[in-house]
Structure 1
Amino acid sequence: MSTVPMGSVDNRTDAAELTELARRFFSHDPDMIADPYPFYRKLREYGPAFRFKDRILVGRYDDCRRILTAPTTLQGLAVKGSRFRTAVDLLDEPHQVQLRETFMFYEKRLAGVDGAKHKRLRRLAQNAFTPRVVNDMRSHVEEIVERLLETIRGRTTVEFISDFAFHLPLIVICELLDVPTEDRDKLRAWSCDLGLFVGGEWSSDPLVESTHASVFALREYCLDHFARKRTEETTPLLRALLDGEGDGDRFSEEELVALITQMIFAGHETSTNLIGNSMIALLRDHRDQWNLLVEDPDRATAAVDELLRYTGPTQYIDKLAGEAGRIGDVDIEQWDTVSVFLASSNRDADAFPDGDVLDLTAKRNPHNAFGFGPHHCLGAALARMEAAIVLRVMAQTYPDMVLVDDHIEYHRNHMLRGPAHLEVELGQEVSQ
């Protein structure tokens, strides 16, 4: 990573204080997971970068964007990276092998490569996952939401995550990939294990074991699924992924398995968290903004972008330094892990005045919730559409819904933030 100009060093925040906040955050302190934003504010105040153990933390808007587009940073969880080296030194030999195999699988994902290889894989993926595919899903997503509403009608209270929110993105991604209904729960379980891994402690023997088992169970499932669907009728998306397009190029089996794994995980885990986080922000923290949505449900599409900025699910993404350099006044060694805090950058006052305020009517700069640059999330349009439909339909149907308990239990995950449970009282249903 070459030395690049960064924002000015402030250092009003004491390094020892920031170290303690980072320790609590990466140790899954429940209070920090529930409200990480004071930590992010301290990170931005400190300077362009802060070294914590085996990673460098970056939290300012402009600095995050520079790193996400820098040609000498590499995406992914490479076995050369500082976090892998730290974790593997703490494991016995069998678990070292499992962790290395898991990393090597992850590196085949679209999010795990850069340069010419990334351009090739992304072109193939975009040839299949076109705007038309997403737009054609709209009426069907609305039908799925209506079906889910039928399962909660007549009830006073519901557990919004397990009864509603997690079903929608899971059904959508499984239908796009032609996954049978009876297999959805298996894919959800594997996806949940992957979520625990990306935001977990890699030196934990049980986590390494469960992740390795789930990754390779999902791999075997996908290989079998592809073998069947190559000779059967299937969905347009899966057919395009299987056949490939452009210059006769196509995915290898392993590349396709890795891409589908990423789609299942991102299409389910992060979308569920986005819906859950949005309901908390609107029903508990900013009821006035929920009332705006109730008054004008067509505001939902614009509301999703403000909610992504304010309470997006992905807290940070890791990149690796392809070469030595500096970020601000922090020296970077080759293969150092640079944690780019997207959620922090989306509250940076230099980019978002009153960034700690949720305002569905505000005109904002583009947020970083889906990343920025070459690795901008491939499924961003689908995630936006799903969340907007849910918000619009719930505001129309249950305008008086409230949280049963203001205290929220979040998943024990510092990378992907979202509620584990969310009990709501529906209130009077409004007929449409």
Structure 2
Amino acid sequence: MTSATAPVPPPSLADGVRAPEWDEGLDCWVVADPALALQVLNHPGFASGTFERSFQLYMTDAARAEYRELTEFLRLWFVQADAPEHTALRRPVQRMFSASYVRSLVPRIEEITDECLTALAAGAAPQDVMPTVAEGISGKVMAHVVGIDVPPPVLHEWSRTLSLFIGAMYRRDYAQAAHRVMVEMSEALVGARALDGFPTDTPEDRARTTATWAMCLFGGLETTASLLGSTVLTALGDRALWDTVVRDEPGAVTGLVESVLVSRPPLRHLGRVAAYDQEFAGARLRQGDLVLVSLTGQGPLDEVVPEAEAPAACPVTGAAAPAGGDRNLVFGHGPHYCVGAPLARSEAAVLLRRLAARFPHARLSDEAAVWGPNLSYVGLDHLYVDLGGEA
């Protein structure tokens, strides 16, 4: 962790702004105010290396030594780096996930979606959208993009296992499971199509490239599956809204996806580390302090807004979410804006259109939604529907 040579002056605290708060239970600062969250995500006084700091705080010396291979693997994820290193490592991946590339993927996404909907329809009612469709689509799309032959249940098990370790690094059983996943992911990525053109000449090159694409796999699974599930839940939970999707009214699908990103974003928080001693919005931060940045305007222990009461306006700007817009923080902000945002949006839009075209009479079952408990992720464990027969 290096100190900045010229600290940026702290912002003044405007009236009504929720100041950063120290959470004793989480042992970190919490920035829940949207205006301050934007500043933290663009402020050189807040570094991205939360894994490194967490290793120091939550793992014993013995555990760090025993699982050094695992911690080195996670350190190499470029989301843990800042400029200029982050910019250089991100650039080739960003080209891979460009809007034009995502548009070229749409026919394949449609094929995958149809396969998953066929599998869903083959089951007895009520059918569970999450494992068959949400996890199926996100898993198969990422496997296609990266060029590996690994089924969605395995991919999602990998992702969940890494998530558990990242959230509780002090647990030896989580570290053991995450180490196993690291080995399995690395073996699966040998010869993967996406690695073509990335450096592999030296052991260091191979380690960095493997970690980069493992990170991309991880990032494209749980949060995307959560978005897909929440989008179906929102659409089928409002018959008038669902009818606009069935009729394919202009802007209905893209507008619905954007509203879900605002009202129930898959990821609630991002982590940062104070790069030096500083005063920020009235709070005295010390170098190395962990900072939890809210993407929703809520604190980590605030109750998630129920679907029926979800805000129709963007929590950052107060404006209604426009079709295709980017008026929220769900994909982050600034240099670390999520490279997979166009792909996630595309998968959600394709699913809505294919589901509506094929099963226009679909409806939610009684007690359809079963939410998974997690401080950072907002995701469904199960979503039960009755498809109502094909059109």
TM-score (normalizing by structure 1) = 0.76
TM-score (normalizing by structure 2) = 0.84
Which amino acid counterpart does residue 218 of structure 1 have in structure 2? M
Partner in structure 2 of residue 35 of structure 1: none
Q: How does 1:121-270 map to 2 (within 5 A)?
A: 121-153=89-121, 155-181=124-150, 185-198=153-166, 200-222=167-189, 225-226=190-191, 235=193, 237-241=194-198, 252-270=205-223
CA contact (8 A) 1:160 1:422 kept: yes
Q: Which has the higher helix share?
A: 1
How far off is 1:178 after superposition? 1.6
Distance 1:169 1:319 in 2: 27
Distance 1:6 1:408 in 2: 42
CA contact (8 A) 1:352 1:365 kept: no
Q: Which has the higher strand share?
A: 2
Which amino acid counterpart does residue 208 of structure 2 have in structure 1? E
CA contact (8 A) 1:301 1:385 kept: no
Give the secondary-structure state (helix, strand or coil) at the position aligned to 2:188. helix
Give the secondary-structure state (helix, strand or coil) at the position aligned to 1:371. coil
Runs of 4+ in 1 over 4 A off after TM superposition: 98-101, 345-350, 359-365
- Per-residue CA deviation, residues 230-284 of structure 1 (Å, 9 max, x unaligned), is xxxxx4x44244689xxxxxx9212111111111111112110111122223334
CA contact (8 A) 1:76 1:320 kept: yes
Matched, 1:400 2:361: yes
Partner in structure 2 of residue 351 of structure 1: 316
CA contact (8 A) 1:176 1:238 kept: no
- Per-residue CA deviation, residues 104-137 of structure 1 (Å, 9 max, x unaligned), is 3212112110011111101222343333321210
Partner in structure 2 of residue 70 of structure 1: 43
Distance 2:326 2:114 in 1: 33
Sequence identity percentage: 23
State which of 117, 137, 153 in structure 1 corresponds to 2:85: 117
CA contact (8 A) 2:266 2:377 kept: yes
Matched, 1:295 2:247: yes
- Per-residue CA deviation, residues 297-356 of structure 1 (Å, 9 max, x unaligned), is 5521232122111111011010111111122221111111111111227968773438xx
Distance 1:326 1:289 in 2: 46
Unaligned runs of 5+ in 2: 1-6, 299-309
CA contact (8 A) 1:78 1:104 kept: no
Give the secondary-structure state (helix, strand or coil) at the position aligned to 2:385. strand
Distance 1:169 1:254 in 2: 25
How far off is 1:69 after superposition? 0.9
Give the secondary-structure state (helix, strand or coil) at the position aligned to 1:409. strand
Which amino acid counterpart does residue 57 of structure 2 have in structure 1? T
Partner in structure 1 of residue 338 of structure 2: 377
Give the secondary-structure state (helix, strand or coil) at the position aligned to 1:319. strand
Check 1:329–1:62 CA distance in 2 against 1; reply closer, same or farther (3 A cut). same
CA contact (8 A) 1:6 1:63 kept: no
Partner in structure 1 of residue 20 of structure 2: 49
CA contact (8 A) 2:48 2:272 kept: yes
Distance 2:50 2:66 in 1: 14
CA contact (8 A) 1:141 1:172 kept: yes
Partner in structure 2 of residue 19 of structure 1: none
CA contact (8 A) 1:134 1:382 kept: yes
Partner in structure 2 of residue 17 of structure 1: none
How far off is 1:184 after superposition? 5.1
CA contact (8 A) 1:403 1:425 kept: yes
Aligned residues: 369
Unaligned runs of 5+ in 1: 11-43, 230-234, 245-250
- Per-residue CA deviation, residues 146-205 of structure 1 (Å, 9 max, x unaligned), is 222222336532111112111111111111222125x6544332222112233x322223
